[in-house]
Amino acid sequence: MLQPRQQQWKNILQMTDTLHQLSADENWQAMLELETERFGELEDFFSTPVLEEDVGEVEKGIRQMLKSDELLKQHSTRQQQTISDEVKKISTGRKVVDAYNKHNV
């Protein structure tokens, strides 16, 4: 790869690794911002055709990103379910308190 493109690709892959760490830290806002930035970098990178000799390296990186993105999606889905379960518990608790107050007033 040409040096600037090689660095650009390396930065995109590093963003992918950072997204994984942000997910582990449950830093959702930073994750969202970095994902938006990574998307822009990917659009910019692929606005120029990939050289034939670079196809293997780029393909490997894409596979890494897809695998990482799938793990991020799974983690986010688990977190979303956990939050949903907590909200349901809060809602049930409120209903119990309301019922108690209704019958004891």
CATH architecture of 3-103: Up-down Bundle (1.20)
pTM for this model (two decimals): 0.73
Residue 76's contacts (CB-CB under 8 Å, 6 or more residues apart) are: 23
C-alpha 76/C-alpha 15 separation (Å) is 17
Residues 74 and 41: their CA atoms lie apart, in Å, by 24
Which tens digit of pLDDT belongs to each residue from 45-90?
A: 999 999 999 999 999 999 999 999 999 888 888 887 878 777 777 8
